[in-house]
Structure 1
Amino acid sequence: GMCWKYLIEEEGLKPDLVVSTEPTSCRLYRGHRGRMEIRVILSGISCHGSAPERGVSAAYKAARAALAMEQLNKDLQPDEDGFLGKGTITVSVMDVKGPSQCAVADYAMLYLDRRLTWGEDADLAIAQVREYISKATGDAPDSFIVEMPNYEKIGWTKKEYSQELYFPTWKLDEDHFLVQSGIDAYETLFGKKPVVDKWTFSTNLVATTGRHKIPAIGFGPGDENQAHAPNEINRVDDLEICAAFYAMLPYSLEARGK
Protein backbone atom coordinates (compact mmCIF):
# COMPACT_ATOMS: atom_id res chain seq x y z
CA GLY A 1 0.00 0.00 0.00
CA MET A 2 2.97 2.38 0.06
CA CYS A 3 2.33 3.44 -3.54
CA TRP A 4 -1.18 4.60 -2.66
CA LYS A 5 0.01 6.18 0.56
CA TYR A 6 2.43 8.26 -1.51
CA LEU A 7 -0.17 9.21 -4.12
CA ILE A 8 -2.66 10.32 -1.49
CA GLU A 9 -0.34 12.03 0.97
CA GLU A 10 2.31 13.47 -1.36
CA GLU A 11 0.52 13.97 -4.69
CA GLY A 12 -2.95 14.75 -3.34
CA LEU A 13 -4.60 12.09 -5.51
CA LYS A 14 -7.50 10.85 -3.40
CA PRO A 15 -10.17 8.82 -5.20
CA ASP A 16 -13.79 8.86 -4.05
CA LEU A 17 -14.15 5.08 -4.21
CA VAL A 18 -11.87 2.13 -4.90
CA VAL A 19 -12.40 -1.28 -6.48
CA SER A 20 -9.52 -3.68 -5.95
CA THR A 21 -9.03 -6.29 -8.66
CA GLU A 22 -7.00 -8.66 -6.49
CA PRO A 23 -8.27 -12.25 -6.82
CA THR A 24 -11.67 -12.92 -5.23
CA SER A 25 -12.94 -15.79 -7.44
CA CYS A 26 -15.49 -13.27 -8.77
CA ARG A 27 -16.91 -12.79 -5.30
CA LEU A 28 -17.60 -9.40 -3.74
CA TYR A 29 -15.20 -8.67 -0.88
CA ARG A 30 -15.74 -5.94 1.71
CA GLY A 31 -12.76 -6.18 4.03
CA HIS A 32 -9.65 -7.93 5.24
CA ARG A 33 -7.36 -7.99 8.22
CA GLY A 34 -4.52 -5.55 8.56
CA ARG A 35 -0.95 -6.48 9.26
CA MET A 36 2.26 -5.21 10.75
CA GLU A 37 5.83 -6.36 11.24
CA ILE A 38 7.53 -6.36 14.63
CA ARG A 39 11.20 -6.77 15.55
CA VAL A 40 12.24 -7.99 19.00
CA ILE A 41 15.85 -7.73 20.21
CA LEU A 42 16.93 -9.63 23.31
CA SER A 43 20.24 -9.32 25.12
CA GLY A 44 22.23 -11.83 27.12
CA ILE A 45 25.64 -12.02 28.78
CA SER A 46 28.33 -13.86 26.89
CA CYS A 47 30.90 -16.17 28.41
CA HIS A 48 33.08 -19.06 27.30
CA GLY A 49 31.10 -22.01 26.01
CA SER A 50 32.93 -24.35 28.37
CA ALA A 51 31.11 -22.80 31.33
CA PRO A 52 27.76 -21.53 30.04
CA GLU A 53 26.43 -21.11 33.59
CA ARG A 54 28.60 -18.00 33.88
CA GLY A 55 26.57 -16.22 31.24
CA VAL A 56 22.98 -15.56 30.23
CA SER A 57 22.06 -17.06 26.88
CA ALA A 58 20.13 -14.82 24.51
CA ALA A 59 19.48 -17.95 22.45
CA TYR A 60 17.49 -19.56 25.24
CA LYS A 61 15.60 -16.31 25.77
CA ALA A 62 14.77 -16.31 22.07
CA ALA A 63 13.53 -19.89 22.27
CA ARG A 64 11.23 -19.03 25.18
CA ALA A 65 10.12 -15.87 23.40
CA ALA A 66 9.24 -17.83 20.25
CA LEU A 67 7.13 -20.26 22.26
CA ALA A 68 5.47 -17.28 23.93
CA MET A 69 4.46 -16.02 20.49
CA GLU A 70 3.00 -19.43 19.74
CA GLN A 71 0.88 -19.08 22.88
CA LEU A 72 -0.09 -15.50 22.04
CA ASN A 73 -1.32 -16.69 18.66
CA LYS A 74 -3.55 -19.23 20.40
CA ASP A 75 -4.88 -16.59 22.79
CA LEU A 76 -5.83 -13.99 20.17
CA GLN A 77 -9.58 -13.55 19.84
CA PRO A 78 -11.78 -12.99 16.76
CA ASP A 79 -13.55 -9.71 16.08
CA GLU A 80 -16.96 -9.17 17.65
CA ASP A 81 -19.06 -9.98 14.59
CA GLY A 82 -16.77 -12.81 13.46
CA PHE A 83 -16.50 -11.45 9.92
CA LEU A 84 -12.73 -10.98 9.68
CA GLY A 85 -11.88 -13.70 12.18
CA LYS A 86 -9.01 -13.71 14.64
CA GLY A 87 -5.70 -11.97 14.37
CA THR A 88 -2.54 -14.06 14.15
CA ILE A 89 1.12 -13.78 14.99
CA THR A 90 4.05 -15.92 13.87
CA VAL A 91 7.82 -15.84 14.15
CA SER A 92 9.13 -15.45 10.60
CA VAL A 93 12.87 -14.95 11.25
CA MET A 94 15.22 -15.67 14.16
CA ASP A 95 18.87 -14.65 14.44
CA VAL A 96 21.21 -15.46 17.32
CA LYS A 97 24.79 -14.22 17.65
CA GLY A 98 27.69 -14.24 20.08
CA PRO A 99 31.38 -13.35 20.07
CA SER A 100 32.33 -16.72 18.60
CA GLN A 101 31.13 -20.22 17.91
CA CYS A 102 32.40 -21.35 21.29
CA ALA A 103 30.72 -18.66 23.36
CA VAL A 104 27.30 -18.10 24.89
CA ALA A 105 25.14 -15.99 22.58
CA ASP A 106 24.49 -12.46 23.84
CA TYR A 107 22.21 -11.23 21.04
CA ALA A 108 18.96 -12.56 19.63
CA MET A 109 16.47 -11.11 17.18
CA LEU A 110 12.97 -12.34 16.41
CA TYR A 111 11.00 -10.97 13.48
CA LEU A 112 7.24 -11.28 13.77
CA ASP A 113 4.42 -11.19 11.24
CA ARG A 114 1.24 -9.96 12.93
CA ARG A 115 -2.19 -10.01 11.27
CA LEU A 116 -4.67 -7.61 12.85
CA THR A 117 -8.41 -8.13 13.08
CA TRP A 118 -11.04 -5.44 13.62
CA GLY A 119 -10.34 -3.52 16.84
CA GLU A 120 -6.62 -4.34 16.94
CA ASP A 121 -3.91 -1.80 16.16
CA ALA A 122 -0.15 -1.39 16.34
CA ASP A 123 -0.04 -0.17 19.94
CA LEU A 124 -2.06 -3.14 21.16
CA ALA A 125 0.03 -5.64 19.20
CA ILE A 126 3.34 -4.28 20.49
CA ALA A 127 2.06 -4.24 24.08
CA GLN A 128 0.95 -7.88 23.78
CA VAL A 129 4.34 -8.99 22.45
CA ARG A 130 6.14 -7.14 25.22
CA GLU A 131 3.89 -8.66 27.90
CA TYR A 132 4.18 -12.26 26.69
CA ILE A 133 7.95 -12.15 26.16
CA SER A 134 8.52 -10.52 29.53
CA LYS A 135 6.61 -13.30 31.25
CA ALA A 136 8.40 -16.01 29.26
CA THR A 137 11.95 -14.74 29.75
CA GLY A 138 11.67 -13.11 33.16
CA ASP A 139 13.09 -9.87 31.74
CA ALA A 140 11.49 -6.58 32.72
CA PRO A 141 9.15 -5.27 30.00
CA ASP A 142 11.37 -2.23 29.40
CA SER A 143 14.64 -4.17 29.27
CA PHE A 144 14.35 -5.42 25.69
CA ILE A 145 13.41 -3.87 22.36
CA VAL A 146 10.04 -4.34 20.68
CA GLU A 147 9.78 -2.10 17.65
CA MET A 148 8.02 -1.61 14.37
CA PRO A 149 10.59 -1.28 11.55
CA ASN A 150 10.36 1.14 8.64
CA TYR A 151 10.13 0.10 5.01
CA GLU A 152 12.31 2.17 2.67
CA LYS A 153 12.23 2.08 -1.11
CA ILE A 154 13.82 3.95 -3.99
CA GLY A 155 11.50 4.35 -6.98
CA TRP A 156 12.41 4.31 -10.65
CA THR A 157 12.63 8.13 -10.51
CA LYS A 158 15.23 7.77 -7.71
CA LYS A 159 12.68 9.13 -5.26
CA GLU A 160 13.28 7.82 -1.74
CA TYR A 161 10.18 7.06 0.31
CA SER A 162 9.49 5.15 3.48
CA GLN A 163 6.73 4.21 5.87
CA GLU A 164 6.27 2.27 9.06
CA LEU A 165 5.48 -1.39 8.55
CA TYR A 166 1.90 -1.01 9.74
CA PHE A 167 -1.07 -1.62 7.46
CA PRO A 168 -4.43 -0.99 9.16
CA THR A 169 -7.41 -3.31 9.10
CA TRP A 170 -10.46 -2.26 7.09
CA LYS A 171 -13.99 -3.37 6.34
CA LEU A 172 -17.27 -1.94 5.06
CA ASP A 173 -20.64 -2.86 6.50
CA GLU A 174 -22.74 -4.92 4.11
CA ASP A 175 -25.35 -2.14 3.97
CA HIS A 176 -22.77 0.43 2.79
CA PHE A 177 -23.85 1.97 -0.50
CA LEU A 178 -20.73 0.76 -2.33
CA VAL A 179 -21.26 -2.84 -1.26
CA GLN A 180 -24.94 -2.63 -2.14
CA SER A 181 -24.11 -1.08 -5.52
CA GLY A 182 -21.75 -3.98 -6.17
CA ILE A 183 -24.50 -6.44 -5.28
CA ASP A 184 -26.91 -4.59 -7.60
CA ALA A 185 -24.42 -4.67 -10.48
CA TYR A 186 -23.81 -8.39 -10.07
CA GLU A 187 -27.52 -9.20 -9.84
CA THR A 188 -28.29 -7.13 -12.93
CA LEU A 189 -25.65 -8.98 -14.92
CA PHE A 190 -26.01 -12.53 -13.67
CA GLY A 191 -29.48 -12.76 -12.15
CA LYS A 192 -28.32 -13.83 -8.70
CA LYS A 193 -26.67 -12.34 -5.64
CA PRO A 194 -22.88 -12.52 -5.39
CA VAL A 195 -21.09 -14.20 -2.54
CA VAL A 196 -20.06 -11.39 -0.17
CA ASP A 197 -16.93 -12.23 1.78
CA LYS A 198 -13.43 -11.03 2.70
CA TRP A 199 -9.79 -11.72 1.84
CA THR A 200 -7.50 -13.73 4.08
CA PHE A 201 -4.44 -11.92 2.76
CA SER A 202 -3.73 -8.19 2.65
CA THR A 203 -4.04 -5.76 -0.28
CA ASN A 204 -3.26 -2.14 -1.16
CA LEU A 205 -6.58 -1.25 0.44
CA VAL A 206 -4.74 -1.05 3.76
CA ALA A 207 -3.64 2.39 2.53
CA THR A 208 -6.71 3.67 0.70
CA THR A 209 -9.27 2.35 3.16
CA GLY A 210 -7.50 1.19 6.31
CA ARG A 211 -5.42 4.36 6.61
CA HIS A 212 -7.37 6.96 4.60
CA LYS A 213 -10.95 5.67 5.00
CA ILE A 214 -11.81 5.73 1.29
CA PRO A 215 -14.68 3.25 0.73
CA ALA A 216 -13.58 0.18 -1.20
CA ILE A 217 -14.69 -3.24 -2.36
CA GLY A 218 -12.86 -6.09 -4.01
CA PHE A 219 -13.90 -8.00 -7.12
CA GLY A 220 -11.31 -9.80 -9.17
CA PRO A 221 -10.49 -12.85 -11.31
CA GLY A 222 -8.58 -15.81 -10.02
CA ASP A 223 -8.39 -17.52 -6.66
CA GLU A 224 -6.83 -16.03 -3.56
CA ASN A 225 -5.25 -19.32 -2.48
CA GLN A 226 -3.18 -19.38 -5.69
CA ALA A 227 -1.86 -15.82 -5.40
CA HIS A 228 1.96 -15.63 -5.67
CA ALA A 229 2.12 -19.39 -6.21
CA PRO A 230 4.26 -20.86 -9.03
CA ASN A 231 1.23 -22.66 -10.49
CA GLU A 232 -1.14 -19.68 -10.35
CA ILE A 233 -3.74 -19.60 -13.13
CA ASN A 234 -6.45 -17.21 -14.25
CA ARG A 235 -9.64 -18.41 -15.91
CA VAL A 236 -10.69 -16.60 -19.09
CA ASP A 237 -14.31 -16.79 -17.92
CA ASP A 238 -13.34 -14.85 -14.79
CA LEU A 239 -11.91 -12.06 -16.93
CA GLU A 240 -15.17 -11.73 -18.83
CA ILE A 241 -17.23 -11.71 -15.62
CA CYS A 242 -15.04 -9.07 -14.02
CA ALA A 243 -14.93 -6.84 -17.09
CA ALA A 244 -18.72 -6.83 -17.19
CA PHE A 245 -18.92 -6.06 -13.47
CA TYR A 246 -16.50 -3.13 -13.72
CA ALA A 247 -18.54 -1.69 -16.59
CA MET A 248 -21.86 -2.09 -14.75
CA LEU A 249 -20.81 -0.78 -11.34
CA PRO A 250 -20.88 2.95 -12.25
CA TYR A 251 -24.48 2.56 -13.45
CA SER A 252 -25.44 0.88 -10.18
CA LEU A 253 -23.81 3.70 -8.24
CA GLU A 254 -25.62 6.27 -10.36
CA ALA A 255 -28.94 4.53 -9.71
CA ARG A 256 -28.32 5.04 -6.00
CA GLY A 257 -27.52 8.70 -6.52
CA LYS A 258 -23.78 8.28 -5.98
Structure 2
Amino acid sequence: YLCEKNEISPNFVVICEPSSLKLALGHRGRAMLTITTEGVSSHGSSPELGVNAIYKIKNIIGRIEELQSKLAADNTSGSVTLSRIESKAVSLNAVPDQCKLYLDRRLEVGETETSVAKEMDALVEGTKAIWEIYEITDKTWTGKSVSCRAFFLPWELKEDHLLTRASIKAVNDATGKKATLFKWNFSTNGFASASKMGIPTIGMGPGNPELAHCRDECCDISEIVGALKFYASIVNNL
Protein backbone atom coordinates (compact mmCIF):
# COMPACT_ATOMS: atom_id res chain seq x y z
CA TYR A 1 0.00 0.00 0.00
CA LEU A 2 2.77 2.44 0.94
CA CYS A 3 4.72 1.69 -2.23
CA GLU A 4 1.66 2.10 -4.45
CA LYS A 5 0.44 5.25 -2.71
CA ASN A 6 3.84 6.94 -2.80
CA GLU A 7 5.04 5.42 -6.09
CA ILE A 8 8.04 3.87 -4.36
CA SER A 9 9.98 1.10 -6.13
CA PRO A 10 12.66 -0.17 -3.72
CA ASN A 11 15.68 -1.98 -5.14
CA PHE A 12 16.17 -3.87 -1.87
CA VAL A 13 14.45 -4.35 1.48
CA VAL A 14 16.05 -4.94 4.89
CA ILE A 15 13.75 -6.36 7.57
CA CYS A 16 14.85 -5.22 11.04
CA GLU A 17 13.18 -7.97 13.10
CA PRO A 18 15.26 -9.67 15.85
CA SER A 19 17.97 -11.96 14.45
CA SER A 20 20.76 -11.74 17.06
CA LEU A 21 22.71 -9.83 14.37
CA LYS A 22 22.60 -12.86 12.07
CA LEU A 23 21.52 -12.51 8.44
CA ALA A 24 18.07 -13.96 7.74
CA LEU A 25 17.80 -15.19 4.15
CA GLY A 26 14.08 -15.91 4.35
CA HIS A 27 11.32 -17.40 6.46
CA ARG A 28 8.38 -19.75 6.32
CA GLY A 29 5.06 -18.83 4.78
CA ARG A 30 1.80 -18.68 6.69
CA ALA A 31 -1.77 -19.64 5.89
CA MET A 32 -4.68 -18.95 8.22
CA LEU A 33 -7.50 -21.42 7.58
CA THR A 34 -10.92 -22.17 9.05
CA ILE A 35 -13.03 -25.31 9.21
CA THR A 36 -16.74 -24.91 9.98
CA THR A 37 -19.44 -27.43 10.85
CA GLU A 38 -23.16 -26.71 11.07
CA GLY A 39 -25.58 -28.39 13.48
CA VAL A 40 -29.15 -27.96 14.65
CA SER A 41 -30.00 -26.00 17.76
CA SER A 42 -32.24 -27.31 20.51
CA HIS A 43 -32.79 -26.59 24.19
CA GLY A 44 -30.00 -27.80 26.44
CA SER A 45 -32.46 -29.93 28.38
CA SER A 46 -33.30 -31.86 25.20
CA PRO A 47 -30.02 -32.34 23.33
CA GLU A 48 -31.44 -35.36 21.51
CA LEU A 49 -33.65 -32.98 19.54
CA GLY A 50 -30.68 -31.11 18.09
CA VAL A 51 -27.36 -31.83 16.36
CA ASN A 52 -24.34 -30.56 18.29
CA ALA A 53 -21.93 -28.89 15.85
CA ILE A 54 -19.03 -29.34 18.30
CA TYR A 55 -19.44 -33.13 18.32
CA LYS A 56 -19.48 -33.14 14.52
CA ILE A 57 -16.01 -31.60 14.40
CA LYS A 58 -14.24 -33.77 17.00
CA ASN A 59 -12.95 -36.29 14.45
CA ILE A 60 -11.46 -33.48 12.38
CA ILE A 61 -9.53 -32.29 15.43
CA GLY A 62 -7.91 -35.72 15.65
CA ARG A 63 -7.01 -35.55 11.96
CA ILE A 64 -5.33 -32.18 12.49
CA GLU A 65 -3.20 -33.64 15.27
CA GLU A 66 -2.22 -36.54 13.00
CA LEU A 67 -1.34 -34.11 10.20
CA GLN A 68 1.02 -32.19 12.49
CA SER A 69 2.78 -35.44 13.46
CA LYS A 70 3.22 -36.22 9.76
CA LEU A 71 4.55 -32.73 8.99
CA ALA A 72 6.94 -32.83 11.95
CA ALA A 73 8.50 -36.03 10.59
CA ASP A 74 9.14 -34.36 7.21
CA ASN A 75 11.92 -31.76 7.26
CA THR A 76 10.70 -30.29 3.95
CA SER A 77 7.24 -29.45 5.31
CA GLY A 78 5.95 -26.78 7.65
CA SER A 79 3.58 -27.18 10.58
CA VAL A 80 -0.06 -26.85 11.53
CA THR A 81 -1.49 -25.53 14.80
CA LEU A 82 -5.11 -25.59 15.89
CA SER A 83 -5.10 -22.14 17.47
CA ARG A 84 -8.76 -21.44 18.28
CA ILE A 85 -12.15 -23.15 18.60
CA GLU A 86 -15.40 -21.16 18.48
CA SER A 87 -18.99 -22.31 18.79
CA LYS A 88 -22.26 -20.47 18.27
CA ALA A 89 -25.46 -21.03 20.21
CA VAL A 90 -28.42 -18.84 21.06
CA SER A 91 -27.59 -19.18 24.77
CA LEU A 92 -25.51 -21.22 27.22
CA ASN A 93 -28.44 -23.59 27.68
CA ALA A 94 -28.78 -24.44 23.99
CA VAL A 95 -27.12 -26.96 21.68
CA PRO A 96 -24.61 -25.08 19.49
CA ASP A 97 -25.54 -25.00 15.81
CA GLN A 98 -22.08 -23.98 14.54
CA CYS A 99 -18.49 -24.78 15.42
CA LYS A 100 -15.39 -23.24 13.80
CA LEU A 101 -11.72 -24.20 14.01
CA TYR A 102 -8.88 -21.81 13.20
CA LEU A 103 -5.64 -23.29 11.85
CA ASP A 104 -2.21 -21.68 11.62
CA ARG A 105 -0.41 -23.51 8.79
CA ARG A 106 3.28 -22.60 8.40
CA LEU A 107 4.74 -23.25 4.94
CA GLU A 108 8.18 -24.25 3.74
CA VAL A 109 9.53 -23.39 0.30
CA GLY A 110 7.87 -25.72 -2.22
CA GLU A 111 4.54 -25.89 -0.40
CA THR A 112 1.77 -24.14 -2.32
CA GLU A 113 -1.90 -23.27 -2.10
CA THR A 114 -2.62 -26.38 -4.19
CA SER A 115 -0.76 -28.71 -1.81
CA VAL A 116 -2.43 -27.14 1.23
CA ALA A 117 -5.86 -27.47 -0.42
CA LYS A 118 -5.28 -31.23 -0.77
CA GLU A 119 -4.49 -31.43 2.95
CA MET A 120 -7.61 -29.50 3.88
CA ASP A 121 -9.78 -31.63 1.62
CA ALA A 122 -8.42 -34.71 3.41
CA LEU A 123 -9.17 -33.20 6.83
CA VAL A 124 -12.87 -32.71 6.04
CA GLU A 125 -13.31 -35.80 3.85
CA GLY A 126 -16.44 -37.76 4.70
CA THR A 127 -17.97 -34.84 6.61
CA LYS A 128 -20.11 -31.87 5.67
CA ALA A 129 -17.56 -29.45 7.12
CA ILE A 130 -16.37 -26.54 4.97
CA TRP A 131 -12.84 -25.16 4.96
CA GLU A 132 -11.80 -21.69 3.82
CA ILE A 133 -8.78 -19.41 3.69
CA TYR A 134 -9.32 -16.81 6.39
CA GLU A 135 -10.06 -13.27 5.27
CA ILE A 136 -8.45 -10.77 7.64
CA THR A 137 -10.37 -7.50 8.07
CA ASP A 138 -9.27 -4.64 10.28
CA LYS A 139 -8.74 -0.90 10.53
CA THR A 140 -5.41 0.92 10.52
CA TRP A 141 -4.57 3.58 13.10
CA THR A 142 -5.83 6.19 10.60
CA GLY A 143 -9.20 4.44 10.40
CA LYS A 144 -8.66 3.01 6.91
CA SER A 145 -10.45 -0.32 6.40
CA VAL A 146 -8.17 -3.09 5.11
CA SER A 147 -8.69 -6.71 4.17
CA CYS A 148 -6.23 -9.43 3.33
CA ARG A 149 -6.56 -13.02 2.17
CA ALA A 150 -4.42 -14.85 4.72
CA PHE A 151 -2.25 -17.03 2.49
CA PHE A 152 1.36 -15.87 2.41
CA LEU A 153 4.04 -17.84 0.58
CA PRO A 154 7.52 -18.48 2.00
CA TRP A 155 10.56 -16.74 0.55
CA GLU A 156 14.32 -17.10 0.54
CA LEU A 157 17.31 -15.16 -0.80
CA LYS A 158 20.18 -17.06 -2.41
CA GLU A 159 23.60 -16.92 -0.79
CA ASP A 160 25.22 -15.68 -3.99
CA HIS A 161 22.73 -12.81 -4.47
CA LEU A 162 24.15 -9.27 -4.61
CA LEU A 163 22.17 -8.28 -1.50
CA THR A 164 23.48 -11.27 0.45
CA ARG A 165 27.09 -10.60 -0.54
CA ALA A 166 26.77 -6.90 0.36
CA SER A 167 25.14 -7.78 3.68
CA ILE A 168 27.90 -10.25 4.57
CA LYS A 169 30.51 -7.54 4.02
CA ALA A 170 28.42 -5.01 5.95
CA VAL A 171 28.25 -7.37 8.95
CA ASN A 172 32.02 -7.76 8.88
CA ASP A 173 32.52 -4.00 8.61
CA ALA A 174 30.05 -3.28 11.42
CA THR A 175 30.97 -6.01 13.91
CA GLY A 176 34.37 -7.29 12.84
CA LYS A 177 32.92 -10.80 12.79
CA LYS A 178 32.01 -13.29 10.09
CA ALA A 179 28.31 -13.22 9.19
CA THR A 180 26.08 -16.14 10.23
CA LEU A 181 23.32 -17.03 7.77
CA PHE A 182 19.97 -18.58 8.75
CA LYS A 183 16.21 -18.45 8.09
CA TRP A 184 13.62 -17.12 10.51
CA ASN A 185 11.19 -19.66 11.90
CA PHE A 186 8.50 -16.99 12.27
CA SER A 187 7.06 -14.57 9.73
CA THR A 188 7.64 -10.91 8.88
CA ASN A 189 6.42 -8.35 6.36
CA GLY A 190 8.93 -9.92 3.99
CA PHE A 191 5.75 -11.62 2.76
CA ALA A 192 4.91 -8.40 0.94
CA SER A 193 8.36 -7.33 -0.22
CA ALA A 194 9.86 -10.69 -1.22
CA SER A 195 6.93 -13.00 -2.01
CA LYS A 196 4.35 -10.60 -3.39
CA MET A 197 6.42 -7.76 -4.86
CA GLY A 198 9.53 -9.72 -5.81
CA ILE A 199 11.93 -7.26 -4.16
CA PRO A 200 15.21 -8.84 -2.96
CA THR A 201 14.83 -8.94 0.83
CA ILE A 202 17.12 -9.78 3.73
CA GLY A 203 16.69 -9.61 7.51
CA MET A 204 18.99 -8.37 10.26
CA GLY A 205 18.17 -6.90 13.63
CA PRO A 206 19.07 -6.76 17.32
CA GLY A 207 17.49 -9.08 19.85
CA ASN A 208 16.99 -12.82 20.25
CA PRO A 209 14.33 -14.09 17.79
CA GLU A 210 13.43 -16.90 20.22
CA LEU A 211 12.19 -14.27 22.68
CA ALA A 212 9.95 -12.50 20.16
CA HIS A 213 6.52 -11.70 21.70
CA CYS A 214 7.56 -13.37 24.98
CA ARG A 215 6.95 -11.75 28.36
CA ASP A 216 10.65 -11.25 29.09
CA GLU A 217 11.68 -10.15 25.59
CA CYS A 218 14.70 -7.87 25.82
CA CYS A 219 17.41 -6.40 23.63
CA ASP A 220 21.08 -5.89 24.46
CA ILE A 221 22.20 -2.30 23.85
CA SER A 222 25.39 -3.50 22.15
CA GLU A 223 23.27 -5.36 19.59
CA ILE A 224 21.29 -2.19 18.88
CA VAL A 225 24.55 -0.36 18.21
CA GLY A 226 25.82 -3.21 16.02
CA ALA A 227 22.59 -3.23 14.01
CA LEU A 228 22.75 0.54 13.44
CA LYS A 229 26.32 0.20 12.19
CA PHE A 230 25.17 -2.56 9.83
CA TYR A 231 22.31 -0.45 8.42
CA ALA A 232 24.74 2.37 7.68
CA SER A 233 27.36 0.01 6.25
CA ILE A 234 25.06 -1.91 3.91
CA VAL A 235 24.17 1.28 2.04
CA ASN A 236 27.86 1.78 1.25
CA ASN A 237 28.25 -1.83 0.09
CA LEU A 238 25.39 -1.83 -2.44
TM-score (norm 2): 0.88
Alignment of 1:182-201 (within 5 A): 182-201=167-186
**Aligned counterpart, 1:133:** 124
Secondary structure of the structure 2 residue equivalent to 1:71:
helix
Alignment of 1:1-258 (within 5 A): 6-46=1-41, 56-76=51-71, 77-79=74-76, 86-98=77-89, 101=92, 104-134=95-125, 138-139=126-127, 143-253=128-238
Secondary structure of the structure 2 residue equivalent to 1:132:
helix
Distance 1:161 1:106, change over 3 A: closer
Once the two structures are TM-superposed, the CA of residue 9 in structure 1 deviates from its matched residue by: 4.0
Q: Unpaired segments of 5 or more residues in structure 2?
A: none
Q: Distance in 2 between matches of 1:10 and 1:73?
A: 40
Distance 1:250 1:101, change over 3 A: closer
Identity of aligned pairs, percent?
A: 37
Q: Distance in 1 between matches of 2:123 and 2:216?
A: 39
Once the two structures are TM-superposed, the CA of residue 47 in structure 1 deviates from its matched residue by: 5.2
Once the two structures are TM-superposed, the CA of residue 185 in structure 1 deviates from its matched residue by: 1.8
CA contact 2:124–2:130 (8 Å) conserved in 1:
no
CA contact 2:53–2:96 (8 Å) conserved in 1:
yes
User: Which range moved further: 25-34 or 86-95?
Assistant: 86-95
Q: Distance in 2 between matches of 1:233 and 1:252?
A: 30
What count of residue pairs does the alignment treat as equivalent? 236
Once the two structures are TM-superposed, the CA of residue 57 in structure 1 deviates from its matched residue by: 3.3
CA contact 1:78–1:117 (8 Å) conserved in 2:
no
Secondary structure of the structure 2 residue equivalent to 1:60:
helix
Once the two structures are TM-superposed, the CA of residue 62 in structure 1 deviates from its matched residue by: 1.9
Distance 1:246 1:100, change over 3 A: closer
Once the two structures are TM-superposed, the CA of residue 53 in structure 1 deviates from its matched residue by: 5.9
1:79-135 deviation digits (Å, cap 9, x = unpaired): 3xxxxxx3111111112334555554432111111111111233432331221222x
Q: Distance in 1 between matches of 2:106 and 2:49?
A: 39
Secondary structure of the structure 2 residue equivalent to 1:66:
helix
**Aligned counterpart, 1:256:** none
Q: Unpaired segments of 5 or more residues in structure 1?
A: 1-5, 80-85, 254-258
Secondary structure of the structure 1 residue equivalent to 2:121:
helix
Counterpart residue type for residue 185 of structure 1: A
CA contact 2:175–2:226 (8 Å) conserved in 1:
no
Secondary structure of the structure 1 residue equivalent to 2:213:
coil
Distance 1:154 1:47, change over 3 A: closer
Once the two structures are TM-superposed, the CA of residue 220 in structure 1 deviates from its matched residue by: 0.4
Q: Distance in 1 between matches of 2:141 and 2:94?
A: 45
Once the two structures are TM-superposed, the CA of residue 50 in structure 1 deviates from its matched residue by: 6.4
1:31-63 deviation digits (Å, cap 9, x = unpaired): 000112111111234556667566543212222
Q: Distance in 2 between matches of 1:198 and 1:212?
A: 19
Q: Distance in 2 between matches of 1:181 and 1:57?
A: 59
User: Which range moved further: 217-226 or 96-105?
Assistant: 96-105
